[in-house]
């Protein structure tokens, strides 16, 4: 989602009230009693503008801030996406939120940390489907999808990063809420508004997202991060639109593989069955859904 269009709009529309479709978040309401938004959270901060909520929380993690801090921005000037891309959107047009997690505090072994990006994806698709009253699905690993007209479009995405010398994980979620067709960074992007969602109030969406993420994460930690015991794997497979599709995966380094997406393995990798019948797992890349099987 590389575009600086959103930033330009943000500069033109200086007053938060100049776009009535995009009211500001009520920061005081969200900050008050973070525990009500989920047992995991101990601080929720809302800022009008920052570079990247992920980068800000990574800095705080390095300073020793404990697990459970949440940072929400009304606008990001240097938002980051997966695979070294940028993430940009007009002020107050979406959700830009990051959370600081410390899975080792709960004794989750490193081998299971690869499930965190998928867990955050399940939390986001579950919460948004419920709160926006619109079906939201996942494209492996964690792109959020909605249907606009007949088309599957990218509604949002998740960027998880290690911080504090690998001791913390920053989980960032970006969701296009009120973006209009002429504001989309790429034609394959969508928004809740374009998908015809009856609910687009960002505060309602954020509350449900934080509540669901807290619940899923605490359950996963209680099961030592085992994706099968905690039924995370099952939930992921049921929400992932990639499974059962013929896909092309563009791998880092300009190579690609094609095949049928048949499963997600114990490490959260996508298992592809190639035309030869051979199966192999990919751990990173851009998936293109070619067609259903």
Torsion sign over Cα 205, 209, 211, 212: positive
Binding site for ligand BTN (CB under 6 A): 52-54, 76, 79-82, 85, 87, 96-98, 143, 157-159, 172-174
For residues 279 and 286, which CB has a smaller minimum distance to ligand BTN in the complex? Answer: 286
In the complex, residue closest to ligand BTN by CB: 157
Return left, alpha or beta for 173; rule: phi > 0 is left, psi -120 to 50 is alpha, else beta: beta
For residues 96 and 115, which CB has a smaller minimum distance to ligand BTN in the complex? Answer: 96
CB of 195 to ligand BTN, least distance (A): 17
CA 80 from chain centre, in angstroms, equals: 12
For residues 97 and 205, which CB has a smaller minimum distance to ligand BTN in the complex? Answer: 97
Rounded to whole angstroms, the Cα distance separating 143 from 122 reads 10
CA distances from 89 to 63, 164, 178, 243 (A): 29, 28, 10, 29
Place of tokens 């047009």: 93
Runs of H (alpha helix) within the chain = 5-12, 27-31, 53-62, 116-132, 202-222, 232-239
41-70: buried (b, 16+ CB within 10 Å) or exposed (e) per residue? beebbbeeebebbbbbbbebbeeebebbbb
CB of 187 to ligand BTN, least distance (A): 16
For residues 230 and 249, which CB has a smaller minimum distance to ligand BTN in the complex? Answer: 249
CB of 55 to ligand BTN, least distance (A): 6
Residue 140, number of CB atoms within 10 A of its CB: 24
CB of 223 to ligand BTN, least distance (A): 26
CB of 96 to ligand BTN, least distance (A): 4
Cβ atoms of 175 and 190 closer than 8 Å: no
* CA atoms within a 13 Å half-sphere pointing along the CA-CB vector of 187: 2
Among 196, 190, 184, 125, which Cα is nearest to 151's?
190
For residues 97 and 240, which CB has a smaller minimum distance to ligand BTN in the complex? Answer: 97
For residues 79 and 227, which CB has a smaller minimum distance to ligand BTN in the complex? Answer: 79
CB of 278 to ligand BTN, least distance (A): 29
CB of 144 to ligand BTN, least distance (A): 8
For residues 82 and 233, which CB has a smaller minimum distance to ligand BTN in the complex? Answer: 82
């Amino acid at each position: 989602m590389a575009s600086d269009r959103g930033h330009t709009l943000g500069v033109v529309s200086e007053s938060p009230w100049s776009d009535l479709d995009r009211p500001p978040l009520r920061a005081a309401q969200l900050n008050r009693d973070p525990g009500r938004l989920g047992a995991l959270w101990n601080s929720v901060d809302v800022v009008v503008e920052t570079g990247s909520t992920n980068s800000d929380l990574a800095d705080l993690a390095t300073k020793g801030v404990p697990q459970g801090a949440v940072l929400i921005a009304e606008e990001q000037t240097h938002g980051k996406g997966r695979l070294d891309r940028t993430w940009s959107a007009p002020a107050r047009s979406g959700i830009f939120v990051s959370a600081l997690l410390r899975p080792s505090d709960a004794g989750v072994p490193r081998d299971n940390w690869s499930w965190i990006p998928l867990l955050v994806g399940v939390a986001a698709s579950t919460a948004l489907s419920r709160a926006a009253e619109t079906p939201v699905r996942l494209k492996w690993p964690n792109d959020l999808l909605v249907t606009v007209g007949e088309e599957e479009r990218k509604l949002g995405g998740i960027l998880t990063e290690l911080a504090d010398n690998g001791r913390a994980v920053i989980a960032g979620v970006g969701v296009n809420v009120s973006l209009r067709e002429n504001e989309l960074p790429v034609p394959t992007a969508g928004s809740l508004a374009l998908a015809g969602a009856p609910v687009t109030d960002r505060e309602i969406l954020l509350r449900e997202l934080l509540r669901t993420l807290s619940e899923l994460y605490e359950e996963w930690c209680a099961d030592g991060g085992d994706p099968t015991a905690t039924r995370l794997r099952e939930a992921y497979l049921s929400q992932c639109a990639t499974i059962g599709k013929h896909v092309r995966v563009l791998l880092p380094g300009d190579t690609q593989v094609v095949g049928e997406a048949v499963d997600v393995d114990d490490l959260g990798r996508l298992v592809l069955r190639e035309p030869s019948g051979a199966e192999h797992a990919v751990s990173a890349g851009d998936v293109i859904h070619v067609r259903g099987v």
